[in-house]
Amino acid sequence: MNKEIATPLRTKAILEKYGFSFKKSLGQNFLIDTNILNRIVDHAELKEDSGAVEIGPGIGALTEQLAKRAKKVVAFEIDQRLLPILKDTLSPYPHVEVIHQDILKADVSTVLKEKMADLTDIMVVANLPYYVTTPIIMKLLEEQLPIRGMVVMLQKEVAERISAKPGTKEYGSLSIAIQYYTKAEVVMIVPRTVFVPQPNVDSAVIRLLRREEPAVIVKDEDYFFNIVRASFSQRRKTILNNLINSLENGKEKKPIIEQCLHQAEIDPRRRGETLSIQEFGRLSDELLANL
């Protein structure tokens, strides 16, 4: 029986064997606590016929735990130096496939069609590199992939922004974008002490479960997100001021913008961070119809 990868001793031995040095630019922090890895996988609720997609497998610590529970694991790794290590550490698991690609450039939809066509349940489970957390999550959601959801580890403050509710200082366009596609909840906090090298901040694991349909039905999705971003462009300003300053010819169209806010039953003096996703939906439809 192989010793598990995610112990301080085994991790150290693997890194020494391959003379591996961490690249700060790739946000590499490896987990050295099997118990935490198991809890992350628990939150994904994988079944025997589930598929798991991982991003940034590192030396295979989380991959190994996924392999024990999923029928198929596909992991995207950008760092070529890790490929021989993964080949070695994951050799006991023939149903794991590592793809040497940047997830942000990868055609994930085609990969899933080719590698997981026979699976009805697919989850993304990953310890995401901190510097590209948001672009990765948004890419996976916007591409309408056939996934049930994601269980991902990221910086605690980003997790708080993603799961924030209206009226809180963390709430912003990111919270709304994620809420539009998924139901989000922070399921655990992970201390910085269980990583090598130790990051400067604590992490959190967030679970995002895809909605059957978006949280609000709008006439034009791109326009809706545009209005959301405009409403948060300067947090201390009222929604009316932000829209006037952000929309094309906003100053000339102030009376129409004001009218649309009233039609959507929104006080123009409110700030963007107090609006629910439903209110943004109504507002965006009104503006789209009248501007």
Q: Could you tell me which residues come within 8 angstroms of residue 15 by beta carbon, excluding any fewer than 6 positions away?
A: 59
Under a CB-based contact definition with an 8 Å cutoff, are residues 231 and 243 in contact?
yes
Residues that constitute the known binding site for S-adenosyl-L-methionine: 29, 31, 56, 77, 102, 127
Alpha helices in 194-236 (DSSP H): 221-231
- Residue type present at position 151: V
Residues that constitute the known binding site: 29, 31, 56, 77, 102, 127
d(CA 48, CA 289): 49
What is the b/e burial string over 37-55, where b = at least 16 CB atoms within 10 angstroms of the residue's CB? beebbebbebeeebbbbbb
- 263 burial (CB, 10 Å; 0-12 / 13-18 / 19+) is middle
H helix and E strand count, the chain: 12, 9
Q: What are phi and psi of 125, to 5 degrees?
A: -130, 120
